[in-house]
Amino acid sequence: MNGILPLWKEKGMTSHDCVFKLRKILRTKKVGHTGTLDPEVEGVLPICIGKATKVASYVTDAGKEYIAKVSIGRSTETEDAQGETVTSDNSYKEFTRAQIMEALHKLTGEITQIPPMYSAVKVKGKRLYEYARKGIEVERPERKVQIHQIELLDEEENFAGEQVTFSIRVSCGKGTYIRTLAVQIGELLGYPAHMEKLVRTASGNFRQAECKTLAEVAEFMEAEIVDSILLPIENVLTDFPKVEIDTSDIEHIKNGQVLPAHPLLNDYPSIIMTYEKKIWAIYQNHPTKPGLMKPEKMLLPNE
């Protein structure tokens, strides 16, 4: 059993919970997720099965899309609705649509974020949430992230009240914390803020419409048609050019040998080597031998 399962992760479950349950449903140990989603977040979680686990990192590194509800007036320890209140401002607030749009515009493009204390980022060998649970505050490294687009989904022209909420759709690169983005929006508007709700609607090429729940996967497995909902590995590797293997190189590539670098590696970080339309390997420039390329992943059809 090989392929990508676009799973709809339901609220209340960790990504690891999903993998554990799928191993039982699919009766295979070779199951891996493609980046964690917090338990309170539902959404698209592509699952790699069998040989597809070798390309999980490509899904993890791909762009994501979210719909989030931003709440202005209260900040929390976790930057989401589940955390204890840090700062609260119950004064009457009023924002025009133009003011909110200006804040969203300022946070589009390459921005700097500081990961929240309640996150899985490692500092000195420990996850930040391990420090946070002990009440220890540590210095967190800044990171650059890419925000491709932020769309204000509400149609109102004015937003007012003691607690102001509005929904946004965010298209972003890897490593972006949407709850931190909500806090940053609040900062630009001059008030404490947190992320009230979050749904991931896309991960790489996988979107909500093609996802299945755990219960649905179990039904497909029981009907012995689970292969019909597994997507090919090729669906993950659309950003890289494909190069058909010359018959003289078949044995070299089958054995994972170093080869003369292909000209396409001047423009792309990796190339996909195919034979009779089947992926055999992913090659990249050799890190220490100029003019040569080496296999990054081996995906031979009969493995």
Per-residue pLDDT for 252 more than 70?
yes
Q: pLDDT of 140-176, one tens digit each?
A: 788 999 999 999 999 999 999 999 999 999 999 988 9
Averaged pLDDT of the chain: 91
Architecture of domain 3-61+204-235: 2-Layer Sandwich (3.30)
Q: How far is CA 45 from the centre of its chain?
A: 8
Calpha distance 278→300 (Å, rounded): 8
Tens of pLDDT, residue by residue over 13-37, are: 999 999 999 999 999 999 988 878 8
At residue 101, the 3 state secondary structure works out as helix
Task: Give yes or no for a contact between 145 and 176, defined as CB atoms under 8 angstroms apart.
Answer: yes
Catalytic annotation present for 246: no
Give, for 199, the enclosing helix (H) or strand (E). strand 193-203
pLDDT > 90? residue 42: yes
Pick the catalytic residue from 38, 80, 239, 249: 38
* Whole-structure pTM value: 0.87
- The residue ranges of every structural domain in the chain are 3-61+204-235, 64-203, 242-298
Q: What is the pLDDT of residues 215-234, one digit of tens each?
A: 999 999 999 999 999 998 88
CATH topology agreement for domains 3-61+204-235 and 64-203: yes
Whether domain 242-298 has CATH 2.30.130.10: yes
Model confidence band, residue 120 (pLDDT cutoffs 50, 70, 90): low
Considering the domain delimited by 64-203, tell me its CATH architecture: 2-Layer Sandwich (3.30)
